[in-house]
Amino acid sequence: MRDARLPLLLALLAASLQWLAVGCATARPVDPAARTLHIFDGESGEALGWSDVIARAAAADATFVGERHDDPTGHDVQLAIYQDLLARFPGTAIALEHLERNEQATLDRYLRGEITPDAFIDETKSRDWAGDGTWVRFFQPLVDTARENDSAVIAANAPRDLVRRARTEGHAALDALPQPERGWFDIPVTAVPVRSSDDAAWNRDWQAYADRFHDFMSGGDDSAEERARTANVFLSQSTWDGTMGASVANALATGAPRVVMCAGCFHIERRGGTVLQFLARRPGARALTVTVIDASSAELRREDRGAADIVIYGFPVARKPRG
């Protein structure tokens, strides 16, 4: 006679095998060199140690770590900061420029163990985010560290099609969007992005950020035509900033004890747009900025003074010439 328990046992075995297949990813350890780099206070130039970095991050509500997307050392530093903050503040969230808000549901399915790492990477089209095969090396360890510690991962950026609409139709078109589309941007704040503030210093910093963006994009061309072109592109840039800054603010508002935001260095350095958009939504919040520069230096270089609260030097990255 057939054992009536056999179908149940087979089902349990299948479920266990599926869980093993889905849950096999583990966060890689940090390269020990990440904690032994040359580190400096970004204003005074005072030499710092790794313990100073973590102490300052622990004293902040949100830590913004700027990266050169193709720099392995920068990503090692991000992972080291996140792991060490998690050890002090369980539940610390990680927010990523590299994932868009409409991908949060897929991300959450992975965090719950419902899909494999490959399925998550492929569904979000992330595998080659910073070059061939870079996701697994640079970004997946952050996601898996959060998953292993039951912490939130925030898909922080704006969906591509809505960024395109910002560029082609202006921010007013985004303000007029119905829910749930607006929700991809800035729950629970209403303006995307914040364009002015009662704080005069914030307004000056936002204008300075826009001017830096123009200088970077124009290559020194200050003609009216080039101003108009870069102002149009800035509609996209500021939409990314507005969404990422709001993502960090929302993570704190919904209970994360600390947040680490990882994004391209331009968004973060010199009170960049993502930092300013966060502060517009959380006046009085404590924000720490860290930038990792792909160069070797035993002292704070003059051109890097003021780049961030903490400046870390790594190693030069060999890049193919443009053109």
Question: What's the pLDDT tens digit per position in 245-264?
Answer: 999 999 999 999 999 999 99
The predicted model gives 114-121 an average pLDDT of 98
Structure tokens belonging to residue 225: 């035509």
Instruction: Give the pLDDT score at 187.
Output: 47
pTM: 0.89
Out of 2.30.130.10, 3.40.50.720, 3.40.50.10320, 3.40.50.11550, the CATH code matching 45-313 is 3.40.50.11550
- Does pLDDT of 82 surpass 50? yes
**Percent of the chain, pLDDT > 90?**
76
Please tell me the distance from the alpha carbon of residue 205 to that of residue 293, in angstroms, as a whole number.
22
Residue 305, burial from CB neighbour count under 10 angstroms (0-12, 13-18, 19+): middle
Long-range contacts from 17-20, C-beta under 8 angstroms, 24+ separation: 19/113
- Domains in the chain: boundaries: 45-313
Tell me whether residue 249 is exposed, middle or buried, using C-beta atoms within 10 angstroms of its C-beta: 0 to 12, 13 to 18, 19 or more.
Answer: buried
d(C-alpha 11, C-alpha 95), whole Å: 37
Show the tokens assigned to 128: 């080659």
* Residue type present at position 156: A
Q: How confident is the model at residue 183 (pLDDT cuts 50, 70, 90)?
A: low
* pLDDT above 70 for 10: no
Give the pLDDT band of residue 24 (cuts 50, 70, 90): very low
Which structure tokens are listed for 82?
A: 């996140």
Taking only the tens place, the pLDDT of each residue in 261-292 is 999 999 999 999 999 999 999 999 999 999 99
**Tokens representing 14?**
């299948």
Across the chain, mean pLDDT equals 89
CB burial class (10 A; 0-12, 13-18, 19+) of residue 321? Answer: exposed
- Angle, in degrees to the nearest 10, between helices 224-253 and 200-218: 130
What residues contact 203, with CB distance under 8 A and at least 6 apart? 196, 197
Checking 34-37 for CB contacts under 8 A at 24+ apart, the result is 34/73, 34/76, 34/77, 34/79, 34/80, 35/80, 37/73, 37/77, 37/312, 37/313, 37/314
Q: Say yes or no to pLDDT of 22 above 60.
A: no
- Using the 8-state DSSP alphabet, how is residue 158 labeled? P
Residue 248: C-alpha distances to residues 16, 260, 315 (Å): 36, 8, 29
